[in-house]
Amino acid sequence: MMKKVFVLWSAAVLCGISITAPVASAHSFPESETPPAGATLDKPPPRIMIKYDAPIEKLFASLEVVNDGGQNEAAGPPEVSADGSELSVPISKLGPGDYTVKWRVVCIDTHHTEGSYSFSVARAQP
C-alpha cells in the first residue's frame, strides 16, 4: 500500500513540475532592420543595422551585405551594441541594384538563428 501511495505521489509531483516549469529556450530574432526588408532606397545607406528581440553574443555574430555578383559589400567587421540588442556593419558606397543582407547570430543561451532579407538601391533618374 505504501509503495502505491509513493508511486502516485511521485507521479503527481512530476506532473506538477512539468506543468509549472518555465520554458528555458530563447532565440534571437530580428525586431527591425535598417534599411527595412523589401525597401527601395533613393540613396545607399552608410550602414546596415538589425535590432534583435533578445541579446546576442558578440563573438558569434555575422552580417554580410551581398551584391548581385555575390560580393560582400561590408566595409568592416560586424559590430554588436553594448547591450547585445543590435548588430550592424558599415558598408561601402553601394551602386544601384539589389542587395541581400545575410545574418547569423547566437543568443546568450547558445541557440543560433540565421536569415536574410533584400533591399534595393534605385537607379538615379535623369
111-126 mean pLDDT: 88
Please, which residues have CB within 8 angstroms of residue 106's CB and are 6 or more apart in sequence? 28, 56, 57, 59, 60, 61, 112
CB 78 within 8 A of CB 62: yes
The domains found in the chain, sorted by start residue, are: 25-121 (2.60.40.1220)
The whole-number pLDDT of residue 62 equals 96
- Enter the pTM of the model: 0.76
Instruction: List, for residues 19-66, the tens digit of each pLDDT value.
Output: 444 444 567 889 999 999 999 999 999 999 999 999 999 999 999 999
CB 105 within 8 A of CB 28: yes
Instruction: List, for residues 67-96, the tens digit of each pLDDT value.
Output: 999 999 999 999 999 999 999 999 989 999
The whole-number pLDDT of residue 108 equals 81
Higher pLDDT, 13 or 89: 89
* Angle at the Cα of 74 from the Cα atoms of 73 and 78, rounded to 5 degrees: 155
92-108 mean pLDDT: 94
DSSP structure class, residue 35: S
